[in-house]
Amino acid sequence: KRFIINKQNMNTAIQNRNESYINLRLSKRMAETYLVIEEFGPITPQQALKHFPDNRPINTVQSRFTDLHERGYIKMVMSWNNEKTGQPNTVYEVMNLREKMDYTIAAGQSWTDRIKELENDYRLPTLSEETREILKKEIKKYKSKLKNLINI
């Protein structure tokens, strides 16, 4: 029996897949940061500070930008010089759906490959206990990144 792909069913499948990206679940602070980037982007973490009603320290805003970037919600687009320091700051904007899916696939494959490399290194018989602990922490870090990426 031959399987025939119905174009309408294919469109439904694509729409269902896209819906999972639209209904994203983020922590409260991460969602607030995402909404600021979405509304005012492209934007740097330093520029985003003025859009929050509370007095958040820059390191908490910067860490949310980093998390959102690693999870595939936002992308780096350029560098601007900080108005106060003159130092370059990374500018971010929200990824579109296609970019999110492409990023998820590429990052997932890259991090899976890295985990395999680290696990192979961990099995080497000549490693010291200190080196094994470092490798164990790196493996845990990449597994956590992969888990967060998959939870998009």
Cis check for the bond before 53: say yes or no (omega within 30 of 0). Answer: no
Share of the chain above pLDDT 70, in %: 82
The whole-model pTM stands at 0.72
Q: How many CB atoms lie within 10 A of CB 53?
A: 6
Instruction: Indicate if the pLDDT at residue 53 is higher than 90.
Output: no
At residue 148, does pLDDT exceed 90? no
User: Which residue type sits at 28?
Assistant: K
CA distance 19 to 95: 15
- Cα(78)–Cα(68) distance, rounded to whole angstroms? 16
Which of 11-25, 34-48, 59-73, 129-143 is predicted with the least confidence, judged by mean pLDDT?
11-25
DSSP 50: G
Please give the pLDDT value at position 77.
Answer: 96
Whether 105 shows a pLDDT value over 60: the answer reads yes
Please provide the average confidence, as pLDDT, over all residues in the chain.
85
C-alpha distance across the termini of the chain, in Å: 37
